[in-house]
Amino acid sequence: MTEEITLRRAIAEDVDDILAVEKSLDGAKIYSALTDRNEILEAISSSFFYVILRNAKIIGDVSYEMKDENHAHISGLALTPEFQGRGIAKQAIKMILEKLKDVNVIDLVTHPENERSINLYASFGFKKEGEPKENYFGDGQPRIRMVLRK
């Protein structure tokens, strides 16, 4: 059974809830969490940053940046561990891709060992591009670029 979720543009008042989501994932080598309040506020103001809601409760976040009119970069997808593996991330990405339906190139980076994310994005047609880049976020971990070209 698919759980009902909604996306809503994040606002400054969401910072504590977003921080709780991100901190629930901190320490996992395959995810670079946003754990600084100011970093989250900056992301909210400078990108298309959405909270993922289930029963009016923030359970995750997803964001993207427009590089130009034909290129978007999915900059984040986070879901609290208790809601992972339920198809919620897939619904959120589907909603984001609908918002980006007129964009020709959509890319993102993920950890090369994050098979769940790689499989999720591949299910939408994203393909790995290039070799993993070491120490991508300065956290000592590599990331691989995945691209969806329409």
Q: What is the pLDDT of residues 25-66, one digit of tens each?
A: 987 778 888 989 999 999 999 999 999 999 999 999 999 999
2 pLDDT band (50/70/90 cuts)? low
Nearest to 1 by CA among 58, 81, 83, 86: 86
What structural domains and CATH numbers belong to the chain? 6-149 (3.40.630.30)
DSSP 50-115: EEEEETTEEEEEEEEEEEETTEEEEEEEEE-GGGTTSSHHHHHHHHHHHHTTT-SEEEEEE-TT-H
What pTM, to 2 d.p., does this model score? Answer: 0.94
pLDDT given at position 29: 79
Q: Would you say how long the chain is, in residues?
A: 150
CB 63 within 8 A of CB 75: yes
Task: Round the average pLDDT of the chain to a whole number and report it.
Answer: 95
Task: Look at 93 and 3; give whichever has higher pLDDT.
Answer: 93
